[in-house]
Amino acid sequence: MTALTTARPSGREAPLPPAARKARRRSARLGVVAWCAGIVFCLPVAWMVLTSLHSEPDAATNPPSLGAALTLDGYKRFFGAGGGADPWPSLINSTTASLCSTALVLALALPAAYALSIRPVRKWTDVMFFFLSTKMLPVVAGLLPIYLFAKNAGMLDNIWLLVILYTSMNLPIAVWMLQSFLADVPVSIIEAAQVDGARLPTILTRIVAPIAAPGIAATALICFIFSWNEMLFARVLTGVTAQTAPVFLTGFVTSQGLFLAQLCAASVVVSLPVLAAGFAAQDKLVQGLSLGAVK
């Protein structure tokens, strides 16, 4: 019985003892269970993609029409064929907000992470936890003053306001992630550069960034995802011109008649950048989501 748990790949020694053979069979069975679980979890997404490729009447049948003819009509109509609202401005707004805030986050977080790992300030852990604690402040708690400020400053419906807010939203996560990645940069290289007279900006861009590039990339991808997904700020603080893609999605449902295929197409298009970023950052995803607590 005890050997059952050793489902590790132990090479390919030819005559397996019966216990090991039993273990292998059991492991295969559990593998099948894991496959089923994966498929069940992915099924709604797969169904969404399939529905997006059906025509509207085929998308809204009961029972579902699995083998109906495929068409790109849903996507065409989402992108404005047939007189609907044009999604491009909102997609461009989301891209602007996500990319600019991610760049700003990195510009602020990289020096901060340097001061928390490579040349740590005194009590650097306290500073780390201050950063983290701001992340725990619920968004709704600051929403109203920000709204009033934006209204008085004439910044309502302005994409740059979202850039600033998304930067503050992601900064703690980025500092935590980068701190743990920068800690792996060998200090001796940096000291050598300092002896040669390199200043901080040079050290960060020429030495730290190339060495920690995979970690910085993962951090950027996670910040991008969170900015792209954000909805509450965008909903309250933007109207027409600065509307982001998630807000566009919500407005889009109520105004249409038969809309299932088009809705699925829209969801696929809006989710695509996040899915791509998420799969690219898969290995570091846990570290980012757990604020660097888990590696």
- The least distance separating other proteins from the CB of residue 88, rounded to whole angstroms, comes to 17
Cα distance between residue 248 and residue 89, in whole Å: 10
- Identity of the residue, 140 or 240, whose beta carbon is nearer to other proteins in the bound complex: 140
For other proteins, which residue of 91, 183, 209, 211 counts as binding (CB under 8 A)?
183
Q: Please report whether residue 225 would count as binding other proteins according to CB under 8 A.
A: yes
Q: Please report whether residue 152 would count as binding other proteins according to CB under 8 A.
A: no
- Identity of the residue, 89 or 124, whose beta carbon is nearer to other proteins in the bound complex: 124
Of the candidates 89, 52, 56, which has an alpha carbon nearest to the alpha carbon of residue 72?
52
Q: Do 80 and 235 contact (CB within 8 A), yes or no?
A: no
Q: Please report whether residue 42 would count as binding other proteins according to CB under 8 A.
A: yes
Q: Please report whether residue 218 would count as binding other proteins according to CB under 8 A.
A: no
Tell me which residues in 14-33 interact with other proteins (CB under 8 A).
27-28, 30-31, 33
- The least distance separating other proteins from the CB of residue 203, rounded to whole angstroms, comes to 10
Q: Which residues of 203-236 are buried (b: 16+ CB within 10 A; e: fewer)?
A: bbeebbeebbeebbebbbbbbbbbbbbbeebbeb
- The least distance separating other proteins from the CB of residue 289, rounded to whole angstroms, comes to 6
Of the candidates 180, 161, 159, which has an alpha carbon nearest to the alpha carbon of residue 222?
180
Tell me which residues in 237-276 interact with other proteins (CB under 8 A).
245-246, 249-250, 253, 259-260, 263-264, 267-268, 270-271, 274-275
For other proteins, which residue of 149, 191, 206, 239 counts as binding (CB under 8 A)?
149
For other proteins, which residue of 71, 157, 198, 278 counts as binding (CB under 8 A)?
278
Q: Do 104 and 163 contact (CB within 8 A), yes or no?
A: yes
Tell me which residues in 68-107 interact with other proteins (CB under 8 A).
none
For other proteins, which residue of 159, 163, 175, 208 counts as binding (CB under 8 A)?
175
Q: Do 230 and 250 contact (CB within 8 A), yes or no?
A: no
Q: Is 76 helix (H, G, I), strand (E, B) or coil?
A: helix
Cα distance between residue 23 and residue 30, in whole Å: 11
For other proteins, which residue of 133, 186, 205, 214 counts as binding (CB under 8 A)?
133
x-or-dash string of contact with other proteins, 155-174, rule CB under 8 A: ---------xx-xx--xx--
String of DSSP letters for 55-115: -HHHHT-SS--TTPPP-SHHHHHHTTTTS----HHHHHHHHHHHHHHHHHHHHHHHHHHHH
